[in-house]
Amino acid sequence: MRIGRQVGMLRGAKVTRPDQIEVGDHCIIGFDCFLGGEGRLFIGNNVNIASFSVLLGGRHDINDPAFTSVLQPTVIEDYAWVATRVTITSGVRIGRGAVVGAGAVVTRDVAPYAVVAGVPARVIGERRPDACVYALNYQPWFF
């Protein structure tokens, strides 16, 4: 697993196929997150993935008699914020600076700076690009 500088990965995080996961600099991976690397997972810089979120690395072809695995890369671009208990399905791209509201289920790409929420996730607003200039540096006392 490639992990950048100043990354806080908190207790209980579960990872599959770490050799297929890249995490950029200044990121936060919250408590009890699941990172599925089966289809490759790319997390950019200054990304906050809040606790209990699930990033899926693959799915199955429901129409294939062999129930074949379908592995597609998932990408979370710089400055994205994935709030608590979000599920992101494989093959999805979360754009730069996008915000995914708590409890959302993301099955389609999210445009840069879009704010999405719900099941399935839908656009509910927009984030200002000038808000994405910070460097996350969360270093908790207890991991």
Active site residues: 60
Beta-strand relationship, 34-36 and 69-70: unpaired
CA dist 69 and 46 (Å) reads 31
Contact 12, 45 (CB under 8 A): no
Where residue 46 falls (left for φ over 0; alpha for ψ -120 to 50; beta otherwise) is left
Contact 74, 54 (CB under 8 A): no
If you search the block for the tokens 């808000």, which residue do you land on?
131
Q: Exposed, middle or buried by CB within 10 Å (0-12, 13-18, 19+), for 49?
A: buried
Name the CA radius of gyration of the chain, rounded.
Answer: 15
